[in-house]
Amino acid sequence: MNTATTALLDQAGAAVNHSLRSLAHLAHRLNGTLGHSEPGPISTHILERLHTGLTRGTTGFCTHLSSTAPQPAFWVPWAAGKIRCAPCADRAYQRIKNTREDRKCDRCRRTMVTTNTLGWQLPAVILTLPSGHARSLPPVQVHFALCTPCRQLDRPAA
Ligand SMILES: [Zn+2]
Ligand SMILES: [Zn+2]
C-alpha cells in the first residue's frame, strides 16, 4: 500500500471516530442510547433511498467535502439531494427549525406528537482507482425522525 493510501485510511479512520463521538454526544443530549443494531424495515428503506440517490446521481456532495480528505458528513431524507459537511448540515437544520417540516415524520409525513430521532452511522469507504490513486467516501451520519407508530414498525424482526 502506498503512503498516500495509508494516509487516507488514517484520515478516514479519524473521521469515523470523530463522527461516532458526535453521534454519542447527540444521543446523550436526546437521552438516547448508542449501540449496534440492525436497522429495522423503515430505517433500511430510508438508508436505501440514500444508496439509490448516489447510484442515480440525484444525491451529490456539498462542495466542502473532498474525496481525498474525508471528514464527518451528514444526510437527511428531507433534503436528500446532498451529503453535507457539518456546517452545511447545520444550515439545513436551521432552515427547518420550528417549521412544520421539523414536526413531520420522515416516513408517513404526518405531524408527530412525539418525535423519535434516529441516527445511523455509515462507515467511510476507501476506493483504489485503476490509476492507483485512492479516494474516500466520507463516513455519513443519517438522521431522521419517526412518529411513534412508524417507530414501532421499525423494530427489526425478532
Ligand atoms: Zn458543505
Ligand atoms: Zn410516521
Q: What separation in Å is there between the alpha carbon of 89 and the centre of ligand 1?
A: 7
Contact 78, 59 (CB under 8 A): no
Domain boundaries, the chain: 3-153
Q: In percent, how much of the chain has pLDDT > 90? A: 81
**pLDDT band for position 110 (50/70/90)?**
very high
**Closest ligand, as measured to the CA of 104:** 2
Mean pLDDT of 92-116: 94
**CA 43, CA 46: separation in Å to the nearest integer?**
5
Q: What separation in Å is there between the alpha carbon of 63 and the centre of ligand 1?
A: 6
**Closest ligand, as measured to the CA of 112:** 2
DSSP lists the bridge partners of residue 142 as 75, 120
Q: Is the pLDDT of residue 48 over 80?
A: yes
Task: Specify the pTM.
Answer: 0.90
Q: What separation in Å is there between the alpha carbon of 153 and the centre of ligand 2?
A: 9
The region of weakest confidence among 1-15, 46-60, 139-153 is 1-15
